[in-house]
């Protein structure tokens, strides 16, 4: 799976952040003249993310983009390991490390699965919140949520793209310890995928790459307590489904069609979500029947033509009368590790009822007006443009409402519909 690429942080947004930092530090110094006395060498980082307590799947993220070390823009790419796990655009280069939610990023964002933590102790010198967090395009949008921390030696770590409202209660001038909660991953600012953009500057204000490698000329050593490997081949999720469909529509929560129990004549599809799937790597799959005997076994070799930080594969079988009733175990062996899930044939296995409020939005596309109907009272509808600006808001407290879009420009908008304490997201196309 390819993640879209575009302007991550514009020069203007970066300059505005630097000016805000300078003003914030001046205010901090007025209250505490000793707040920024430089001491010690550069910090050593722990991973700036962790899973929310209670998360029990195999994985929740992958590292998708590194710092671009080839500063000639327009598709001249080189990461610290002399490969191309990075990106640039016509006039700039990606300057940080992107940790993205994977799989089901929009669902995991809503559940705040990726918690952003301080990679090292320091002082908060900038903090932003309250900006729209469901952006679907890298377009230079400067309205990010996040935290910037200065360390004891004067270096800084920038943490961007937080989910709105999911941020520490600490403020500018407060100190944080390594591992302390800062916020949850979102898609605020210039972002097309819920993730953390982690960017680091040394004591002189020069960008560095915390990952040491043969093509990193920015800094001579690693800034990690224990530097993670470049490739971490992992299965983040293995699951069974009612078909081959897998519905993704940014920024809606994914429709997964996951299913645990199957009957004769039904299609059983199992899907495997990979992190760092390398071309030519093998996965050994085995399905064990209810008696523990090998029912199906095969080896699949990745043949996508290149390595992928995010990818998935699926395989389907029609359940027939040769499948004994009972609970089956699906096993995958990949990257030296074993992953398992279960499913049933003619059993009482099931999944939690995920039924949501029924919502109809029409006509869509539209040139003027949109009607929204639900089977429960609509508490509020907020409409945002692609830059995350709130352009329309209504609170009908009724099961049907009308949006007048006649004053809006043509383009794509996002409607957030609140009903019974839940939120649903719909795209609107204005022609």
Per-residue pLDDT tens digits for 275-297: 999 999 999 999 999 888 999 99
Average pLDDT over residues 346-374: 77
Strand order in the sheet with 422-430: 390-394, 380-384, 411-419, 422-430
Give pLDDT, residue 247: 85
**What is the rounded distance in angstroms from the CA atom of residue 184 to the CA atom of residue 111?**
9
The tokens for 313 are 């594969």
Q: Evaluate whether 199 touches 95 at the Cβ level (below 8 Å).
A: yes
Is the separation of the CB atoms in 102 and 2 below 8 Å? no
What Å distances lie between residue 179 and 108, 115, 125, 176, 273, CA to CA?
Answer: 21, 10, 17, 8, 28
What is the pLDDT at residue 357?
57
pLDDT surpasses 90 at 209: yes
Answer positive or negative: Cα dihedral of 127, 132, 134, 139: negative
Domains of the chain: 11-208 (2.70.70.10), 234-345 (2.60.40.1930), 359-430 (2.60.40.3080)
Query: What confidence score (pLDDT) does residue 388 get?
Result: 62
Mean pLDDT of 256-271: 95
Q: Rounded to the nearest 10 degrees, how much is the dihedral formed by the CA atoms of 165, 171, 175, 180? A: -10
What whole-number distance in Å separates Cα of residue 9 and Cα of residue 233?
A: 30
CA separation, residue 379 to residues 130, 150, 186, 253, 301 (Å): 20, 42, 24, 20, 50
Q: How far apart are CA 161 and CA 140, in angstroms?
A: 12
Tens digits of per-residue pLDDT, 58-102? Answer: 999 999 999 999 999 999 999 999 999 999 998 899 999 999 999
**Three-state secondary structure string covering the chain:** CCCCCCECCCHHHHHHHHHHHHHHHHHHHHHCCCCCCCCCCCCCECCCEEECCCCCCCCCEEEEECCCCCCCCCCCCCCCCCCCCCCEECCEECCCEEEEECCCHHHHHHCCCEEEECCCCEEEEEEECCCCCECCECECCCCCCEEEEECCCCCEEEEECEEEEEECCCCCCCEECCCCEEEEEEECCCECCCEEEEEEECCCCCEECCCCCCCCCCCCCCCECCCCCCCCCEEEEEEEECCCCCECCCCCCCECCECCEECCCCEEEEEEEEEEECCCCEEEEEEECCCCCEEEEEEEECCCCCCEEEEEEEEEEECCCCCCCEEEEEEEEECCEEEEEEEEECCCCCCCCCCCCCEEEECCCECCEEEEEEEEEECEEEEECCCCCEEEEECCCEEEEEEECCCCCCEEEEEEEEECCEEEEEEEEEC
pLDDT of 356 strictly over 70: no
- Which residue did the predictor score with more confidence, 419 or 215? 215
Instruction: Note the pLDDT tens digit of each residue in 24-43.
Output: 999 999 999 999 999 999 99
> pLDDT tens, 241-260?
999 988 888 999 999 999 98
Q: Which two tokens stand for residue 282?
A: 């093998």
- pLDDT (0 to 100) of residue 386: 61
**CB-based contacts of 138, cutoff 8 Å, min separation 6:** 4, 5, 6, 7, 8, 190, 191, 192
pLDDT tens digit sequence for 384-417: 776 567 899 999 999 999 999 999 988 878 788 8
Name residues whose C-beta falls within 8 Å of residue 421's C-beta, 6 or more positions apart in sequence: none
Q: What is the pLDDT of residues 107-142, one digit of tens each?
A: 999 999 999 999 999 999 999 999 999 999 988 999
pLDDT-based confidence at residue 5 (cuts at 50, 70, 90): low
Look at residue 381 in the predicted model and tell me its pLDDT: 92
């Amino acid at each position: 799976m390819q993640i879209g690429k575009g302007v991550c942080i514009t020069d203007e947004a970066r300059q505005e952040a630097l000016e805000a930092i300078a003003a914030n530090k001046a205010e901090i110094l007025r209250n505490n003249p000793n707040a920024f006395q430089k001491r010690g060498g550069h910090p050593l980082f722990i991973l700036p993310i962790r899973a929310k307590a209670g998360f029990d799947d195999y994985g929740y993220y992958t590292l998708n983009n590194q710092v671009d070390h080839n500063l000639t823009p327009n598709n001249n790419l080189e990461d610290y390991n002399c490969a191309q796990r990075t990106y640039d655009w016509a006039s700039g280069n990606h300057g940080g490390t992107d940790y993205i939610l994977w799989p089901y990023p929009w669902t995991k964002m809503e559940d705040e699965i990726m918690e952003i933590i301080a990679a090292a102790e320091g002082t908060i010198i900038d903090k932003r919140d309250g900006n729209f967090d469901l952006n679907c395009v890298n377009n230079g949008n400067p309205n990010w949520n996040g935290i910037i921390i200065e360390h004891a030696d004067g270096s800084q770590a920038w943490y961007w793209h937080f989910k709105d409202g999911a941020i520490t209660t600490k403020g500018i001038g407060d100190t944080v310890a390594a591992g302390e909660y800062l916020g949850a991953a979102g898609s605020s600012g210039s972002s097309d995928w819920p993730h953390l953009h982690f960017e680091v500057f040394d004591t002189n204000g020069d960008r560095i790459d915390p990952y040491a490698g043969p093509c990193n000329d920015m800094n001579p050593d690693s800034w990690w307590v224990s530097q993670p490997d470049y490739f971490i081949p992992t299965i983040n999720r293995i699951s069974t489904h009612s078909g081959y469909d897998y519905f993704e529509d940014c920024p809606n929560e994914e429709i997964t069609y996951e299913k645990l129990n199957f009957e004769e004549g039904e299609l059983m599809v199992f899907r495997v979500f990979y992190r760092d799937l390398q071309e030519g790597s093998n996965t050994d799959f085995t399905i064990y029947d209810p008696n523990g005997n090998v029912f199906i076994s095969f080896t699949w070799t990745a043949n996508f033509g290149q390595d992928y930080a995010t990818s998935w594969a699926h395989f389907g079988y029609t359940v027939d009368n040769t499948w004994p009733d009972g609970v089956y175990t699906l096993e995958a062996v990949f990257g030296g590790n074993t992953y398992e899930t279960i499913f049933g044939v003619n059993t009482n296995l099931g999944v939690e009822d995920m039924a949501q409020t029924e919502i109809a939005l029409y006509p869509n596309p539209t040139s003027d007006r949109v009607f929204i109907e639900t089977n429960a009272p609509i508490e509020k509808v907020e409409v945002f443009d692609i830059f995350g600006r709130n352009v329309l808001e209504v609170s009908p407290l009724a099961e049907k409402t009308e949006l007048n879009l006649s004053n809006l420009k043509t383009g794509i908008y996002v409607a957030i519909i609140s009903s019974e304490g839940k939120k649903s997201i719909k795209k609107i196309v204005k022609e």
